[in-house]
Amino acid sequence: MKSYLRQQIDWPQAFPPEEYAERRKKVRDVLVERNIDALYVTTPANLTYLLGYDMIWYHLRNLTGLLIRADRDDTLFFDAVGHRTIVSTTPEIKEVIWFERESIDNLIEKVGKEFAARGLAQARIATEPWAYSPHATVMSALQQRLRQNGAEILDESLLIERIRLVKSPREIEVMKSAASIADAAMSAARDALKPGIMETEIEAVIMQSMMQAGGGYPGIRTMIGSGPRAGTHHSPAHHRKLMKGDLVFIDFCSSLHRYHVNLNRTFSLGKPDGRWTDLMEKSAGCVDAILAAVKPGDSWRKVAQIGDEYLEAHALKKYIWWAGGYALGIAIPPDWVGSHFAEPREDIPDQPLQPGMVFNYENQFDVWEDWPGGSGAAYIETLLVTDLGLDIMSKLPRHLVTV
């Protein structure tokens, strides 16, 4: 690998080398515990976590990945030759196998031969088939090729994701900085609201604020809805222009070194209908109830349970589109959440709350009773688990704010 560019790295790295070494050791410890010889990491967020590797386009036909072994910290990276500069300016990448513009069969054959050359032909090898890169058919073909060598293939798609749930002190500091970037961007958006401004212009204000503060592009598109679109969850900004009396729903993630903090607030352009004010005032107490009742060591599910009980007790459940939360941290488009939710989904087990965990909690409301101003309202907070309890990472009020 050409490494001449390493001497020219003149910008600060996200984390020092010892941070990445500690992360890889955590992975190796789990591999040893489960009697697994090696893991081929292909989930983009996991590659960033282990190496600091940051790349914008994971082609579904490419087998970009990292071989990490249980018995040593010698890693082997696989990537397209077109990424030579990115790779050579990522200090944690030491040894590389390059993919040329070649067929998928050739790529798979190259990976299989390299594994065998390192004594892993008949090893227990874990893969991440739930990653969105490469495509499932490519991953299936790779697994089949490794089996032909004599390897036993295991699905460990969640192994690193579970480790990533608990952030190190350095990661927490990055996320606190991301939270400050988010507050500043939301404040800038609030100050820009006026009749006649387009939703897309609001997003421009948010992005400018975040980028000028040193943040990066989020792992999910910004969600903005105004007036009749104020309840359009998962909708990007449109060309609609704001009008006096509108509710304005703004939901985005700030990002620093790919670490995300989620923030959602609702504003009113002028005095709102009192029912909106009452709805948001009451719902703001839902987070307070969670903070008062939940402590480290409790099940994560308890967060959702306390929230649901509060919403039921205050007659807000009938307006809820969704209430709950999910893990935050490294996020690379298009996936920004992962598999772990406050109320576990499907076969993903519940997790105990541990200091260093970061997740959001949201109250999203749909109102179909034709209240003046809009069709819905919401807020989202990002919560940090500490030794003492839960901390809110934003300093902005979560009630309905009149502009």
Q: Where are the chain's structural domains? A: 4-163, 165-402
pLDDT of residue 5: 66
Under 8 Å between Cβ of 303 and 361: yes
Fold match flag (4-163 vs 165-402): no
3-state SS track over the chain? CCCHHHHHCCCCCCCCHHHHHHHHHHHHHHHHHCCCCEEEECCHHHHHHHHCCCCCCCCCCCCCEEEEECCCCCCEEEEEHHHHHHHHCCCCCCCEEEECCCCHHHHHHHHHHHHHHCCCCCCEEEECCCCCCCCHHHHHHHHHHHHHHCCEEEECCCHHHHHHCECCHHHHHHHHHHHHHHHHHHHHHHHHCCCCCEHHHHHHHHHHHHHHCCCCCCCCCCEEEEHHHCCCCCCECCCCECCCCCEEEEEEEEEECCEEEEEEEEEECCCCCHHHHHHHHHHHHHHHHHHHHCCCCCECHHHHHHHHHHHHHCCCHHHEEEEECEECCECECCECCCCCECCCCCCCCCCECCCCEEEEEEEEEECCCCCCCCCEEEEEEEEEECCCCEEECCCCCCCCEEC
pLDDT of residue 337: 86
Under 8 Å between Cβ of 61 and 135: yes
How many Å apart are CA 19 and CA 15, to the nearest integer? 6
CA within 13 Å, CB half, 88:
14
Per-residue pLDDT band at 336 (split at 50, 70, 90): confident
Q: Which residue has the tokens 């190496």?
A: 51
Per-residue pLDDT band at 3 (split at 50, 70, 90): low
Per residue in 4-57, pLDDT tens? Answer: 567 788 888 999 999 999 999 999 999 999 999 999 999 999 999 999 999 999
Torsion sign over Cα 100, 105, 111, 117? negative
Nearest to 289 by CA among 366, 389, 176, 172: 389
How many Å apart are CA 167 and CA 172, to the nearest integer? 6
Compare 61 and 397 and report the one with higher pLDDT. Answer: 397
Cis peptide before 334 (omega within 30 of 0): yes
Per residue in 70-108, pLDDT tens? Answer: 999 899 999 999 999 999 999 999 999 999 988 999 999
CATH class of 165-402: alpha beta
Under 8 Å between Cβ of 357 and 385: yes
pLDDT of residue 345: 81
pLDDT of residue 302: 98
Query: Is the pLDDT score of 225 beyond 70?
Result: yes
Averaged pLDDT for residues 308-321: 97
CATH of domain 4-163: 3.40.350.10
Per residue in 127-177, pLDDT tens? Answer: 999 998 999 999 999 999 999 989 999 999 999 999 999 999 999 999 999
Under 8 Å between Cβ of 102 and 131: no
Per residue in 235-263, pLDDT tens? Answer: 999 999 999 999 999 999 999 999 999 99
Mean pLDDT for all residues in the chain: 95
pLDDT of residue 346: 76
**CB burial of residue 2 (10 Å; 0-12, 13-18, 19+):** exposed
pLDDT of residue 360: 97
Q: Which two tokens mark 342?
A: 């406050």
